[in-house]
Structure 1
Amino acid sequence: MYNPFSVEGRIAIVTGGLGQIGTQISTTLAQAGAKVAIYSRRPFSAEQIAEKFPGLEDNIKVYEASVTDKDALEAATDQLIKDWGVPDILVNNAGIDSKPDGDADQNAPFEVYPKKYWDDIIETNLTGVMLTSQVVGSKMAEAGKGSIINIGSMYGMVSPNQALYAYREERDGKPFIKAISYAASKSGLINMTRYLATYWAKKGVRVNLVTYGGVKTGSFDKEFIDAFLERVPMGRQADIGEFSPIIHFLGSEASSYMTGANLVLDGGFTSW
């Protein structure tokens, strides 16, 4: 029986597929029968794959390729095509943000925000998506098929609410400003998605964006969580497993007439 939601036998690439959200995406697709190629900045052995993805070793391979290195992306993609074939799905998941407890300059006021941190985040979150889409998407277009799924953030749609972070200055005695670079990079993905969706529409390649809201990770201060949940209509953060099903949907034929869309999963945060 035909199942439009099936990704059985499809070949998927997940960048940053060893991170917290990336692992969940990779696992969900592999459990659904897809062959998953994870592009990682660091090498990852077969033994490590077996430990991290028990029972899914036959459906998951890791290729060493940074999203900011076009030569490495091309080499990994050429090898993937030799191993499994032309990919059907690309999930541009790799991304970085400033670290709340890292170098204070990462969260400095805009007036003195260092260009170094702007460059680092834009290079990975925006340029990295462009390069990966360029390398992989061109192979998809040649084959006349493919679904590219970009991973966005609610801070690509609305500005970070600096009031959520005010407690840090009160607690630590120094300014703490959620940096501009992450918001700018995720905002840029909205129109990059539209651009590529229209550019490749007649080549059979669909390009969509998934915008995520806050997810439970256990790494946020209680003060932040309390303030954040007051601004979420659903009154809770997402469980990490709530994000992957939409990736499954966009990688399947169930979304075959959808391109250039932004699917928002934020508990209603951007609705207020």
Structure 2
Amino acid sequence: MRQACWGGEHAAALLESGATVVLTDIDDSKLAATRASLSLNADPERIVVELMDVSRLDSIQAVAKNLANTGRRVDVLVNNAAIDPRVQGDLGVLETSRLENFPLDQWESQLAVGLTGAFLCSQVFGTAMARDGVGGVILNIASDLSVFAPDQRLYRKKGLAYDMQPVKPVTYSVIKAGLAGLTRYLATYWADLGVRANTLSPGGVFNGQGEEFVQRLNSLIPLGRMAKRDEYRAALQFLCSDASSYLNGQNIVIDGGRSVW
């Protein structure tokens, strides 16, 4: 599983709520590092790690079988995997492929992880939640770009020709909008069997981006700043708990008000 970098924050939120968390990734060294970091503030016995590739059904099924064999039932599924082109420093987004020549292999690989992976995990773990009659929660992590288009002006660099300007690639918007659609489908599909599904769509999180980019983005946000790393923990705890027992099929956008301007 190629996780977006906020997977550790989501795990920390659930650990704070007393849950046992299962971390998955395709990189065992990243899993070990994340587990070690989380163990500083939580009982390591409540942190399980499993190698898993979300783009492969057999890999997901193997993890589900491992968990079942150890008596662990998955009550909450957080679909967070992504290959995410990010803004770093003043270099702009790492993925600079424009729509005119966006490579098909990147389209396919990014959708395989970010969207197909969420479908496959929901298929495997959601089916199990529904089958035993206990139910559960599926939470898809999208983005505020699930409800509006990227403002490509945020990524522009002086001195570059138009056709060389960095952009947020098409895959990002398609995946995030697709996750919101997947949520609505899942929310009605197993509702009578106690499985709820919602989407959490965060806005931009400050993570060392360049000053020019941050200033541009801050000017689009009514609160005047990007989110802090841990500002989504309470929302995730709410969405994954019985406190949101009557919330189903919704896309909760938390972006400092950007989407209402």
Q: Does the TM-score normalized on the shorter chain lie above 0.5? A: yes
User: Does the CA contact (< 8 Å) of 1:68 and 1:131 recur in 2?
Assistant: yes
Change in 2 beyond 3 A, CA 1:45/1:24: closer
Select 1:94's aligned residue among 81, 86, 111: 81
Q: 1:198-239 CA deviation, whole Å, 9 max, x = no partner? A: 011111100000011011111x22111111000001101111
Shift of 1:106: 3.5
Select 2:183's aligned residue among 156, 175, 193: 193
Change in 2 beyond 3 A, CA 1:56/1:131: same
Distance 1:122 1:227 in 2: 28
2:127 corresponds in structure 1 to 138
Mapping of 1:120-139 within 5 angstroms?
120-139=109-128
Say whether residues 1:57 and 2:27 are aligned partners: no
Shift of 1:16: 5.8
Shift of 1:83: 2.1
User: Does the CA contact (< 8 Å) of 2:87 and 2:94 recur in 1?
Assistant: no
Select 1:208's aligned residue among 170, 185, 198: 198
Q: 1:139-185 CA deviation, whole Å, 9 max, x = no partner? A: 1111221000000111111110111112x2x1555322221111011
2:6 corresponds in structure 1 to 21
Select 2:55's aligned residue among 68, 72, 76: 68
Select 2:228's aligned residue among 234, 239, 251: 239
Shift of 1:81: 2.0
Select 2:107's aligned residue among 90, 114, 118: 118
2:258 corresponds in structure 1 to 269
Say whether residues 1:163 and 2:149 are aligned partners: no
User: Does the CA contact (< 8 Å) of 1:16 and 1:22 recur in 2?
Assistant: no
Structure 1 residue runs of 4+, over 6 Å off? none
User: Does the CA contact (< 8 Å) of 1:16 and 1:38 recur in 2?
Assistant: no
2:26 corresponds in structure 1 to 41
Say whether residues 1:148 and 2:138 are aligned partners: yes
Q: TM-score, with normalisation over the residues of structure 1?
A: 0.86
Q: What is the CA RMSD across the aligned residues, in angstroms?
A: 2.3
Q: 1:41-84 CA deviation, whole Å, 9 max, x = no partner? A: 12259975345522420110101001111111111111112224
Which residue identity does 1:82 align to in structure 2?
A: N
Change in 2 beyond 3 A, CA 1:199/1:226: same
Aligned residues: 254
User: Does the CA contact (< 8 Å) of 2:14 and 2:21 recur in 1?
Assistant: yes
Q: TM-score, with normalisation over the residues of structure 2?
A: 0.90
Distance 1:215 1:45 in 2: 21
Select 1:85's aligned residue among 49, 72, 88: 72
User: Does the CA contact (< 8 Å) of 1:148 and 1:206 recur in 2?
Assistant: yes
Which residue identity does 2:45 align to in structure 1?
A: D
Shift of 1:99: 4.8
Q: 1:4-46 CA deviation, whole Å, 9 max, x = no partner? A: xxxxxxxxxxx766x5311111122113210101111122599
Unaligned stretches of 5+ residues in structure 2: none
Distance 2:84 2:15 in 1: 27
What is the identity percentage for the equivalent residue pairs of Structure 1 and Structure 2? 34
Mapping of 1:242-261 within 5 angstroms?
242-261=231-250
Q: Secondary structure at the match of 2:142?
A: strand
Say whether residues 1:31 and 2:16 are aligned partners: yes
Change in 2 beyond 3 A, CA 1:20/1:109: closer
